[in-house]
């Protein structure tokens, strides 16, 4: 079975002007991009050979034939690996975020549904 992956991105930028070591794209502030291809993700995340200093990735939803990931991205771009938030953990700019576990969940391998929440990708999760 082939797993189809869809991505949605949210960019958070800063208006601070004392961050000269970063490329900042003010027009991306609170920008949301939904369901883009892998090529489009690379184009959005790699600009002038720089990437966001942090990219938090989480599963947004799982459907029969695809998985939707949410990427919450810093608006500060760098090519200096020392600036990447998760570099010491070995994942560069990527922070892997866990879903919210159900109340009383025990890590015994039992599957659970992702928590129902209001999502900006909500139209994808409708059955």
* 84 token code pair: 């990447």
pLDDT at 66 > cutoff 60: yes
- Over pLDDT 90: what percentage of the chain? 22
Cα 75 to Cα 19: distance, rounded to the nearest angstrom? 11
Cα 82 to Cα 92: distance, rounded to the nearest angstrom? 9
Q: Is the pTM of this model over 0.75?
A: no
The DSSP secondary structure of the chain, one letter per residue, reads -PPEEEEEEEEE----S--TTSEE-GGGTT-EEEEE-HHHHHHHH-BTTBEES-EEEEEEEE-SSEEEEEEEEESEEES-GGG-TTGGGTSTTEEE-PPPPPTT---SS---PPPP---TTHHHH--
Cα 99 to Cα 51: distance, rounded to the nearest angstrom? 25
pLDDT at 101 > cutoff 60: yes
Q: Are 66 and 51 in contact (CB under 8 A)?
A: no
So what's the pLDDT on residue 80? Answer: 93
More confident call, 24 vs 15: 24
Average pLDDT over residues 90-107: 85
So what's the pLDDT on residue 12? Answer: 58
């Amino acid at each position: 079975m082939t797993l189809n992956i869809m991505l949605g991105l949210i960019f958070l930028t800063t208006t601070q002007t004392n961050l000269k070591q970063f490329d900042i794209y003010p027009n991306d502030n609170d920008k949301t991009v939904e369901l883009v291809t892998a090529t489009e993700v690379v184009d959005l995340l790699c600009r002038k050979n720089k990437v966001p200093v942090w990219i938090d990735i989480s599963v947004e939803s799982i459907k029969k034939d695809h998985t939707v990931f949410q990427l919450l991205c810093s608006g500060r771009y760098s090519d200096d690996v020392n600036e990447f938030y998760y570099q010491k953990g070995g994942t560069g700019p990527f922070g892997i975020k866990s879903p919210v576990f159900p109340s009383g969940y025990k890590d015994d391998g039992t599957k659970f549904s992702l928590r129902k929440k209001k999502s900006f990708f909500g139209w994808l999760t409708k059955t």
